[in-house]
Chain A
Amino acid sequence: MGLTTEPGGQGGAAAELERRRRAPAQRVQHVLHTHPALSPAIILLLTCIAFTLLNDRFAAPAALSLLIQQTAVVAALAIGQTLIILTAGIDLSVGAIAVLSSMLAALLAAEQGVPAPIALVIGVAAGLAAGSLNGLLVTRVGLPPFIVTLGTLSVFTAVVLIYTGGQSVPGADLPDLLSWTGTTFPIGDFRLTYGVVIVALMYVVVGWALSQTAWGRHVYAVGDDSDAARLAGIRVSRVLFSVYAVAGLIYGLAAWVLIGRAGAASPNAIADANLESITAVVIGGTSLFGGRGGIVGTLLGALIVQSFAIGLSLAGVDDQYRLLAVGILVIAAVSVDQWIRRVRA
């Protein structure tokens, strides 16, 4: 959170001595504490250097373009997951909500003849509604987020399957607007999709809201210590509800990006989105205990995971090693988080 001033800042000689005596490790701790996105940034840099040494195609614009395109959907979902984890919650229904939104929009447009813009709005609104339901259950009924989203994961998945009968909507039946997010355009030697642009805008908007608005400060405060936040006059349950609702809205938008990316709407898409989004958040340095981290780290975390997938594929290494690397990264990231938490004030 904001800038913490050095303790003992009265500038006495004793304080100066104390500061010199600090071990370098503590200084590292301190820097990481104030800049939570620093460790994932370093890891991403090292990862990219290592994979470029293994195969120089990795650093070519073509591969980097793909890295960005392939990360887009999980990176978008992980924004919502970050918001929820910042409030010390967790969302297991991420993938289910995104699939619900995408199937609803696609089926309305392809089979019910609903105009594409309206179908899209309904799909995104379904994401908002699903997120709001999670928020209601967490705040009004007072259930733990883990339990709520475990339940709604099954509920939303079932709704999708009952509604679709397991059928996907092929790309040929989709209106252009829905698959527009998958359209590529060149930027110099890079090729990006409009979906990537949407995700980038989502990062800018949510990043601004978290760092520049009262709402953003409240999200951090509630995650850090909800009792203290309540005493400070923050309406905790209102903030919590808004976080789940906004997350649902973000999943709904991510669903649009997903349709473009897959070139079709399928109820079996992004099967691993729940774990992948949580992985991105954790590797990105956001604390599962709430109140510490941010979406810059999450974006870096999502890029790290995907760079392993592309890098190892280019190096001709089996995919199992990607899982191994990601698992080790998760453990390492949480260890660093715990170590930083012991920073001496």
Chain B
Amino acid sequence: MTHPRRRLAVAGALAVATALAVTACGSDDDGGTTAAGEGDSVAVTLITKDSINPFFVAMQDGAKEVAETENVDLTIAAGAEDGDEEGQIQAIENAIAAGEQGILIVPNGPGVNPAIERARDAGLFVIALDTPPDPADIVDITFATDNFEAGELIGQWAAAQLGGEPATIALLDLFNDKIVSVDYNRDQGFLSGMGIELGDDKRNGDEPATGNYSGGTYEIVCNEPTGGAEDGGRTAMENCLTRNPDVNVVYTINEPSAAGAYAALEAAGVAEDVLIVSVDGGCDGVQAVKDGRIGATSQQYPLLMASEGVKAIADIARGGEAPQPSDGLDFFNTGVALVTDTPADGVESIDTTEGADKCWG
């Protein structure tokens, strides 16, 4: 039991504190952005999907490095988890209120679009990283990996390695309960690289189960979801092997799911006879290529996305030119490289030593 008089005192103190806090916040500037001069510092917020995924941690590192050299006052923010739109909206609103010059964001979904529009109306330059928003013109420009190209490279490599043998393919995707661009772009890119005719290129799993690829005949055994993690990759691979134990090509959405797939193949005693291809180019993934667990992986450059993004905003704020999309794409392509120690004719690649130099995570 608290004493009634003491309770009153506490309530009074709280009220005073609240009033103080409100006036303190209110006495900030009115939230318009100001152009920066040559020597002034530029304020930028980087908002990733979460702060857990090493991919986003690499982005944060890239942004921090450049922020120091470019005299940028960098704020790091993130959603609480992948898909958390509300947390990202708050971070955008904070950047507007603080009168910053620009925002770099890996959008968690279409729910952040209105907040991005408000930021641009307030004069902030907004760059999306890694994931083009839908619609793409919500932001000023996107800096991203061409995920379709990333898929195509490993598809071409796999087709060349098979040398005309029949391909029995397992596709280990990210989800099967929601449609995400990174998921269908990599999967469909891989199939297109194999020379397989696509159905709808924004949908996984609608290709004919059998037909011809560039080197001969193919059979698609499964499209299984992995959630992008090791345990999901293992379960998915096991289910595919149950359907058809003769799988000889495994496409995986990312390297953790590839590690799980390898564990399942190893347990089934067939790891030697199967080509695993993947996308990401994280340091663990490059190591897996070096050790022969993964045949080839398409490396992407998250550090570069963030560092180039910070540079671009600093340039614009100091009166420079806005960046332009790459030729034939609606985004600025930060590049992708095939990492493998068994190069294939006609498919450009780098070896694992070079891949390890450039890897993230």
Contacts and interface: CB of A to CB of B under 8 A. Distances in A.
Contact of B262 (A167, A184, A263, A313): A263
A263 B234 contact: yes
Interface string B223-234: 011011111001
A262 B222 CA distance: 20
Nearest to A58: B242
A184 B176 CA distance: 29
A161 interface: yes
Q: Which of A66, A193, A262 has the most CB of B within 10 A?
A: A262
Dominant secondary structure at the B interface: helix
Contact of B242 (A167, A314, A319): A314
Interface in A106-158: none
A58 to B, nearest CB: 9
Contacts of B266: 263
Contacts of A172: 287-288, 291, 293
Contact of A261 (B54, B176, B231): B231
Contacts of B177: 319-320, 323
B259 interface: yes
B361 interface: yes
Given A165-B57, A182-B263, A319-B177, A170 B288 contact: yes
A50 to B, nearest CB: 17
Interface string B198-217: 00000000000000000000
Contacts, number: 101
Interface string A162-199: 00011110111000000000101000000101000000
B219 interface: no
Interface in B249-273: 256, 259-260, 262-263, 266-267
B243 interface: yes
B238 interface: yes
B184 to A, nearest CB: 16
A166 B53 contact: yes
B230 A269 contact: yes
Contact of A168 (B225, B239, B284): B284
B342 interface: no
A203 B183 CA distance: 39
Nearest to A165: B57
B183 to A, nearest CB: 14
A264 B230 contact: yes
B228 A171 contact: no
B230 A66 contact: no
Given A66-B238, A319-B225, A267 B230 contact: no
B213 to A, nearest CB: 22
B262 A310 contact: no
Contact of A264 (B52, B242, B256, B291): B256
B54 A182 contact: no
Contacts of A66: 238-239, 242
B231 A258 contact: yes
Contacts of A323: 177
A89 to B, nearest CB: 26
B161 interface: no
Interface of A: 57, 62-63, 66, 69-70, 73, 161, 165-168, 170-172, 182, 184, 191, 193, 258, 261-264, 266-271, 309-310, 313-314, 318-320, 323
29 contacts: A57-B242, A57-B243, A66-B238, A69-B238, A166-B52, A166-B56, A167-B361, A170-B284, A171-B259, A171-B262, A172-B288, A182-B267, A261-B263, A262-B231, A262-B260, A263-B259, A263-B263, A264-B259, A264-B260, A268-B229, A268-B256, A269-B229, A271-B227, A271-B229, A310-B239, A314-B242, A318-B176, A319-B176, A323-B177
**A-B interface, 10 closest residue pairs, ranked by CB to CB distance from nearest:** A263-B263, A262-B230, A166-B52, A262-B231, A170-B284, A264-B230, A268-B229, A313-B239, A269-B231, A266-B230
Given A171-B259, A264-B230, 10 more contacts: A66-B242, A168-B256, A172-B287, A262-B260, A263-B266, A264-B256, A264-B263, A267-B52, A313-B242, A314-B242
